[in-house]
Structure 1
Amino acid sequence: MSLSCMSVRRGLLATALGAVLAPAIAASPSAPLSIMSTADPAAPKVAYDGLLVTYKSGTSERRNAAAGAATLQRVLRAPATASQFAAVHRATTPAIASTRRLAIGADLVRPNRRLSEGELDTLMRTLAADPAVAHVEPNRYWRHLRTVRATAAAAPNDPGFEVQWHFRAPDGTIETLAPDPGVANHGGIDLLGAWQYGRGAGVVVAVLDTGITDHPDLDTSLANAGYDFISNAINSGRATDGRAAGGWDTGDWSTEDRFLVENGGCMVPGEQRPSSWHGSHVAGTIAQITDNGLGMAGVAPDAKVLPVRVLGHCGGTTADIADAIVWASGGSVPGVPENKNPAEIINMSLGGYGTCPSDSAYAQAIAAARQRGTTVVVAAGNDNNDAASFTPASCPGVINVAATGITGKRAYYSNFGANITLSAPGGGVYPDDGVSGQSVRTGFVWSAGNRGETTPTEPGYVGQSGTSMAAPHVAGVAALVISAAVQAGRPVPTPQEMREILTQTSRDFPVRPLRQIGVGILDAAKAAARGAGSAAGGDEPTAIRMARTVPVTGVSAAADAGVLYRIDVPAGARNLQIRTYGGRGQVKLLTRVGRSPAPDGSNATLRSTRPGTTQSVQVTIPLADSYFVRLVGGTGGFQGVNLVATYSPAP
C-alpha cells in the first residue's frame, strides 16, 4: 500500500504514519458512502463520499453552480437514464444533491442512497456523457497505514543532530547509532554547505497533512493561521460537520470501536491504529528549530511552516485536499477566510493508488497553485511500484520524490518510474538498505513527534522511513533556494525553474538503481548555490536551446571537446529522434534526460558513437522533459556537422 512510514521509538519517541488508500467506509444516513474497487486488484476496496463533477470551460455550468445542478438533474431525469438503471441494475435512478462547489469549479454531489459498485460506475458514465461535463471522479478517501517498527531495542542517550545522517555530506563517513553496526554515509544531502546562502528566511512552506502539534522544537507561529479543511465530523473528530480555523493536529487515531465500519465508522478490524503525528514529523524535517540547544535540526530552519490539516481519523477526501491546495497557494475557497500567508512551496506526503489526468480535481488544483508561483512537492509512494499509477505522484507539474537510504540505494519500498523527478533521503529499514533482515535504526530519518496514542501529550522525536520523509527534504531545500535567490538579489524561481535547479544540481547515484528514481539524489549545497547565481551543479545553464525540426548547422569541435544543446519535449510527444549528419571527422552523440551527460558518456541515457559523423538516437515515447545533447569530438575531432531533433507533437 502507498506512502506508509516505517518508524521506531527512541526515548521520548512517537510513531508516525504515511498516507495511503482507504478501506471500505460505512455510509452515514445523511451522506451515504459508495464502495468501489481500485484499478489495483491487490488493493482493498475504497470508499467514496459522493462524486466530483467538473464542467468544461466556457459553459454556463462552469460559471454558475445553479446551472450545473440543473444540468445534472436533467440528465438523471431523462427516460434513457431511468431505462438503463432499470435494465442493468433493476433499480431506480438515484437522486443526487449538490453539496458545495470547490475552488477549482467542480461540484461535490452526493447520491441519496448507497450505490453498488456497478450503479456508481453507471452514474459516473451517465453524467460524464453530457456535453457540458469535462470530468467525473469519485470523491475518494486517502489515509495512513499502520507503522512498521524497527525491532532494535537500545536507544542512544542523545536524540540530536548526530543521528540525522540525512543532513550530512555523503562523503562515506561512518554513521553509528548503537547498538547497530556503523554504515558509510553515501545518502546525505550536504545541508551544512547550503546554509551559507541562506536558511529559508521569509519563505512559507505549506504542509498539507495531519496538522502540527505543540512542540518545543517546532515553530508553531503560523499554526493558528493555518486551516483545518476536513469537512466530515467522523473524520475531523469535531462534534459537527464543517471546516475550522487553525492547523493543529488533534490526533488521527482510530482505535476506538466507534471508528469500526460496523458501527458507522471508517476502519475494519486489524486496520485501526494510534495517532500518527505525521504532519509534525514532516514539518520538523522542513523547518525544525535549529541552533537552540534542543533536539534536532531542520533543512530550512528560518522558513515558516503553514500547517493545513487535510488528514484525520479516516484520512482525507479529494474535495477537501483539492480546496486546501488552492487555499495554501493563495487562491480563494468559498466559505474559507483568505490565506494571509500564501505558500511558495506546498508539501504533500500523502497519496494512494490511482492516476491523475489533467482534468481531475487534483490536477486542476495543482495547476492553479503553479500558476500562482507555488512549487508543489509530493511523495512518490511506498508500494515498490510504478508511480505513474499513484496520485498525486502522477499529477502534471509536481516534483515527485522517490526515497533513497543511507547507502544511496533506492529504498526497497520506494515507488519508481519515468515520472519520478529526483530522489531524497527517505531512510532504510534493514542493514545496507536491504529488503529484509533485522531492522536497524541508523538509517531512519529523524524528526519531531509526540508520545500520545490519541490526543497530543508529551512531545518527543521519532525515526521513520518512507517517501513521506523524502519529500520534505526537497521542500526544505526549495525554501533554501528561494532564500538564497532573494539574498543574492535574484528573482524567486518559478515552479519550472525550481524543478530545473533541483534536478540539475542533484548528485549522481553512488549505486546505479535498477529502477528509474529520477535524475539523482538531492544536493542541498549545490541547489542553494545555484539559487544564489553560482555555477553549481552541471553545465546545463550553458546549453544552446534547439527548436524542433530546425537544424543546427556547421558544428565543430576538437577531440574530447564538445558542445551542449537542449531540446524541450512537451507532454504527449511521440517518436523523438536526435541525429547528426554531414561534415567530416568523428563525433559522439550523448543524450541525457533532465541533466547534461558527462563528456565521457558514463551517465548518458542514450548514446551513438559509430564511426563517422552520422549518429542517431530514438525514443518512441519520450518524457515530457528537457533532453540535453552533447556532441563530443572523437579522434581528430569533427568539423561542419549538423544536428537536428524531431518529434511528433501530441494530437
Structure 2
Amino acid sequence: MNSVGAVAAVTTPVEPPRDPLWERQWALSSNPGIGIDLLNAWSFSRGAGVVVAVVDSGIVSHSEFKGRLLPGYDFVSDPDVAGDGDGRDANPRDEGNYVDADFLRRTGLDGQCAVSDSDWHGTHVVGIIAAAIDRRGTVGVAPESRVLPVRVTGRCGGTERDLVDALRWAAGLEVAGAPVNLHPAAVVNLSLGAARPCTPRLQSVIDELSELEVIVVAAAGNENVDASTSTPANCMGTVTVTATGDLGQRAGYANFGYWVDLAAPGGEGGSSILSTVDRGLSIPEGEGYGGLNGTSMAAPHVSGVIALARAIAPGVSRIELIELLLSSLDPFQQDPQTLGCSVPNICGLGFLNATRFLTAVDARINPKVESDLPATLQVGTEVPFQMTVGGETTSVTVVTGSICEARDSVLAGLARGVCILRYSLDGDGETTPASSRTGEVSVRIVGLNPELVATSPKRMTVGARTLVSVTSTSEGARTITTKTPKVCSASPTGKIRALKVGTCVVRIKTTPTSLYEAGSATVTIKVRR
C-alpha cells in the first residue's frame, strides 16, 4: 500500500501563537476558503486529552510532541520494508522510507516504487495534528491532543493485512501477537492509499471502528482521478478529504468526485504544508521542519479539528459529529478548473472551517433555550407559551407540581413560589441515538394582592382605649404594631391605648400565603387631651 502525500457565533479572541513558523502556516489562517480559521476555534478547545491515532509510516523523536506521544506499535511485517531488521514490534519509530537501487535489487521490488529519499511522512502528519504551542517551530491544529503512532508503511509502502491489524489495535481491539492498546483512539487518521476497491476485509474493520464511535479520516489520494478508485478513501464510513492549494482551488494532484466529503488545505507547488520532519535524507539524523503537499496533508487538518470537537463533546455520537462537521463548511473559492471545487460533487460539500464546526458543536452541547414564558405569572391566571432548544421544539414537564401546571403549551399558576419546568429534547434514534438535551427554566408565580381593610375611631383622648377592626381576603397571619410608640401602644389583638397628644399611627400586616402576597394597611388616630 503506497503512502499518499509524496512531495510534488461570536468567540473569545485568541492571541496568535509566537511559534516562529506560525506566520508561514497559511492553511491555519482565517482567510475564507483558504485557511481553516483555527485561532477562533481555539476559544472552544485545543483538543486536550483526545487520542488521535496516526496510522502511517511511524514517527521520529521531535520536541513538538514532548509528553503527548502514547506507546504505539509497528505493524510492518516485512523486515526489509520496515528497515529495522525485524517484523512487527513495539517500536513505531520511522526508520526512513528511502529507496535506493540496492534495495530494489535485493527485494525484487523494482517497478513497484522508485528511488527516493525519506520524507518522514508520518511525523509530518503528526505535526499537522498535534505540534505544540511552544515558541519553537510550527503549531498543530489540536496542540493539546495526544498522539498514538501506529506504523504500517515503510520502504516501498505496506500491506492491507498490516493495515487491518493496525486499525483494530488503534481502536483498542485485540490483535494476535500485539499487546493490548491501553489508549484507544477517538480519531484515526489514514493518510495513505492504494488504487483498488475497498475490500470486504478492510470494510469490515472500518465498520468495527464505526460501531466503537471511532471517526476514521482518509486522504482521497493523489492521482488526479475519481476517489472511488482509491482505498481506504472509498470505504464506507470514512470521512474522505481532498486537497486545495493556497488559492483555495483543487490541487492538481488531488483525487475528486462523489466519494469526497470535504476539502482541506493540502498544499501545491511551492506553497506546501509546513510541519515536523527529520533532517535526514535516509535514516533519522535529528528533528527539523519541512513542507509536503498531498491529500495526506489535508486529512490531518480534518482529524485535528475533529479532535478539538471531541474534547468538548465526548458524548456526541460519531454520526452526529460528522453531520455537524459537514453542515458547517465554508463555500469554495471560485475555481476555474474544469474539475474545480466550484463544480458540484468534485471536492465534497465544502471547505473545512474549524470555527464554524466548533461553534456548531458548542451549540449542540450547550443549546440555546428560547421561550416566550413570562418572568412572573399570577396565581389563578394562565398563559400560552412555546419553548425551543437549539431551534427544536422541546417537551416540558413540571417539577414543582404544587406551584404550577403545564398542559398543551399553557402554563397555569396554582400557588405562590418558583415554578420549575424541565425541558427535554431527545435524540431521534439515528443522529443522536444515546443523547438528550435537558435543563430547567423557572417562572416566579406571584400571589394575589389581598384586600386588607382596617377601621378605627378617628379621634381618641389621652388614656382612652379602642380596638382596630381588620378584615382581609388573605388568611395570612396578622401583626398589629404602632409606628408611634410615644403616642399610643398597640397589642397583637388590635387594642389601642392613647398615651399622649399627637398622631397615633398603627400598621397592620398579613403574612403571605400560598395564594396571596403579603398585605399591609395603616390607620391614623388623632389623640387629644
TM-score normalised per structure 1: 0.52
- Cα–Cα, structure 1 residues 169 and 532, in superposed 2: closer, same or farther, change >3 Å? same
Query: Do residues 252 (structure 1) and 80 (structure 2) align?
Result: no
How far does residue 408 in structure 1 lie from its aligned partner after superposition? 1.6
Summarize deviations over 1:136-171 as a string: whole Å, max 9, x none.
xxxxx43468633xxxxxxxxx96100001101015
- Cα–Cα, structure 1 residues 535 and 453, in superposed 2: closer, same or farther, change >3 Å? same
How far does residue 270 in structure 1 lie from its aligned partner after superposition? 7.8
- Cα–Cα, structure 1 residues 388 and 269, in superposed 2: closer, same or farther, change >3 Å? closer
| 1:120-269 alignment, distance < 5 Å | 141-143=1-3, 147-148=7-8, 160-171=21-32, 186-219=33-66, 221-223=68-70, 225-240=71-86, 242-257=87-102, 259-260=103-104, 262-268=105-111
- Cα–Cα, structure 1 residues 220 and 324, in superposed 2: closer, same or farther, change >3 Å? farther
Query: 1:485 maps to which residue?
Result: 313
Query: 2:181 maps to which residue?
Result: 339
Say which of 399, 414, 417 aligns to 2:257. 417
Contact 2:29 2:37 in 1 (8 A): yes
Partners of 1:483 and 1:270 in 2: CA distance = 40
Structure 2 regions of 5+ residues with no counterpart?
Answer: 9-18, 335-340, 367-389, 394-427, 432-529
Query: 1:497 maps to which residue?
Result: 320
Identity %, equivalent residues? 40
Summarize deviations over 1:97-155 as a string: whole Å, max 9, x none.
xxxxxxxxxxxxxxxxxxxxxxxxxxxxxxxxxxxxxxxxxxxx43468633xxxxxxx
Query: Do residues 454 (structure 1) and 257 (structure 2) align?
Result: no
Count of paired positions: 360
Partners of 2:300 and 2:55 in 1: CA distance = 11
Query: 2:438 maps to which residue?
Result: none
How far does residue 234 in structure 1 lie from its aligned partner after superposition? 1.2
Summarize deviations over 1:77-114 as a string: whole Å, max 9, x none.
xxxxxxxxxxxxxxxxxxxxxxxxxxxxxxxxxxxxxx
Partners of 1:316 and 1:386 in 2: CA distance = 22
- Cα–Cα, structure 1 residues 269 and 247, in superposed 2: closer, same or farther, change >3 Å? closer
- Cα–Cα, structure 1 residues 216 and 267, in superposed 2: closer, same or farther, change >3 Å? farther
Query: 1:56 maps to which residue?
Result: none
Letter in 2 for 1:499: I
Partners of 2:166 and 2:99 in 1: CA distance = 23
1:481 counterpart SS class: helix
How far does residue 447 in structure 1 lie from its aligned partner after superposition? 0.6
- Cα–Cα, structure 1 residues 315 and 269, in superposed 2: closer, same or farther, change >3 Å? closer
Letter in 2 for 1:465: N
Deviates more, 1:201-210 or 1:348-357: 348-357
Partners of 2:158 and 2:357 in 1: CA distance = 33
2:188 counterpart SS class: strand
Query: Do residues 522 (structure 1) and 352 (structure 2) align?
Result: yes
Partners of 2:183 and 2:65 in 1: CA distance = 18
- Cα–Cα, structure 1 residues 424 and 543, in superposed 2: closer, same or farther, change >3 Å? farther
- Cα–Cα, structure 1 residues 288 and 239, in superposed 2: closer, same or farther, change >3 Å? same
Partners of 1:235 and 1:480 in 2: CA distance = 34
Partners of 1:143 and 1:524 in 2: CA distance = 26
Query: Whose radius of gyration is greater, 1 or 2?
Result: 2
Letter in 2 for 1:335: G
Partners of 2:111 and 2:321 in 1: CA distance = 42
Query: 1:394 maps to which residue?
Result: 234
- Cα–Cα, structure 1 residues 366 and 220, in superposed 2: closer, same or farther, change >3 Å? farther
Query: 1:561 maps to which residue?
Result: none
Structure 1 segments (4+ residues) deviating >6 Å: none
Partners of 1:243 and 1:503 in 2: CA distance = 37
How far does residue 263 in structure 1 lie from its aligned partner after superposition? 2.8
How far does residue 543 in structure 1 lie from its aligned partner after superposition? 8.3
Partners of 2:41 and 2:227 in 1: CA distance = 30
Contact 2:5 2:297 in 1 (8 A): no
Summarize deviations over 1:398-445 as a string: whole Å, max 9, x none.
00001112222111211111111111111122xxxxxxxxxxx3x321
Partners of 2:298 and 2:57 in 1: CA distance = 17
Contact 2:4 2:295 in 1 (8 A): no
How far does residue 218 in structure 1 lie from its aligned partner after superposition? 2.5
Partners of 2:111 and 2:254 in 1: CA distance = 26
Summarize deviations over 1:225-262 as a string: whole Å, max 9, x none.
1000011111112334x3100222121111250x11x4
Partners of 1:144 and 1:390 in 2: CA distance = 10
How large is the Cα RMSD of the aligned pairs?
2.7
Letter in 1 for 2:221: G
- Cα–Cα, structure 1 residues 453 and 167, in superposed 2: closer, same or farther, change >3 Å? same
Partners of 2:112 and 2:221 in 1: CA distance = 24
Partners of 1:270 and 1:302 in 2: CA distance = 36
Letter in 1 for 2:302: V
Say which of 276, 281, 292 aligns to 2:124. 281
Contact 2:193 2:233 in 1 (8 A): yes
Query: 2:222 maps to which residue?
Result: 382
Partners of 2:236 and 2:283 in 1: CA distance = 36
| 1:65-80 alignment, distance < 5 Å | none
- Cα–Cα, structure 1 residues 144 and 410, in superposed 2: closer, same or farther, change >3 Å? closer
Letter in 2 for 1:324: A
Partners of 2:113 and 2:82 in 1: CA distance = 21
Contact 2:51 2:145 in 1 (8 A): yes
Partners of 1:307 and 1:293 in 2: CA distance = 24
Partners of 2:153 and 2:164 in 1: CA distance = 12
Partners of 1:265 and 1:456 in 2: CA distance = 25
Letter in 1 for 2:148: L
Contact 1:218 1:289 in 2 (8 A): yes
How far does residue 534 in structure 1 lie from its aligned partner after superposition? 5.5
How far does residue 221 in structure 1 lie from its aligned partner after superposition? 4.1
Partners of 2:218 and 2:267 in 1: CA distance = 16
TM-score normalised per structure 2: 0.64
- Cα–Cα, structure 1 residues 227 and 474, in superposed 2: closer, same or farther, change >3 Å? same
Contact 1:146 1:271 in 2 (8 A): no
Partners of 2:245 and 2:68 in 1: CA distance = 32
Contact 2:4 2:193 in 1 (8 A): no
How far does residue 470 in structure 1 lie from its aligned partner after superposition? 0.3
